[in-house]
Amino acid sequence: MAGNDKDNDYDCLDYAVEDRTAWIELDRPGTLNALSPTLLAELEDALDRAEGSENVRAVVLSGRGRAFSAGYDIGAGETERTLDERVLSQRTHLEAIFSSRLPVLAAVDGPALAGGCNLAVCCDLTFATEGSTFGYPDMHFGEPPPKFVLPFVTDSLKDARELLYTGKTVDAEAAERMGMVNRVVPEGELEATVETELAGIRKTPGTAVAVAKAMVNDVQEAQGYRRYGRVAEYVGTMTMETETARRFREIRDEKGLDAALEWMHGTDKP
Tell me how far apart the alpha carbons of residues 200 and 170 are, in angstroms, rounded to a whole number. 30
Position 246 scores a pLDDT of: 74
Position 56 scores a pLDDT of: 97
Mean pLDDT of 27-48: 94
CA of residue 165 relative to chain centroid, distance? 19
Asked if 18 and 4 count as a contact pair (C-beta separation under 8 A), the reply is yes
Instruction: For 179-225, write each residue's pLDDT tens digit.
Output: 999 999 999 999 999 999 999 999 999 999 999 999 999 999 998 88
Instruction: For 70-120, write each residue's pLDDT tens digit.
Output: 988 876 455 456 666 665 556 689 999 999 999 999 999 999 999 999 999
Taking the CB of residue 141, how many other CB atoms lie within 10 A of it?
24
**By percentage, how much of the chain surpasses pLDDT 90?**
64
* Of 91, 140, 110, 129, the residue nearest 245 (C-alpha): 140
CA distances from 181 to 108, 133, 209 (A): 9, 11, 20
How would CATH label the architecture of 13-239?
Alpha-Beta Complex (3.90)
Tell me how far apart the alpha carbons of residues 24 and 211 are, in angstroms, rounded to a whole number. 23
Tell me how far apart the alpha carbons of residues 189 and 196 are, in angstroms, rounded to a whole number. 11
Concatenated DSSP letters for 180-239? S-SEEE-TT-HHHHHHHHHHHHHHS-HHHHHHHHHHHHHHHHHTTHHHHHHHHHHHHHHH
* Position 268 pLDDT exceeds 60: yes
Asked if 107 and 66 count as a contact pair (C-beta separation under 8 A), the reply is no
Give pTM, 2 decimals.
0.85
Task: Place 2 in a pLDDT band, splitting at 50, 70 and 90.
Answer: very low
* Position 6 pLDDT exceeds 60: no
b/e code 53-85 from CB counts within 10 Å (16+ = b): eeebbbbbbbbbbebbbbbbbbeeeeeeeeeee
Position 266 scores a pLDDT of: 80
| Beta-bridge partner residues of 21 | 18, 58
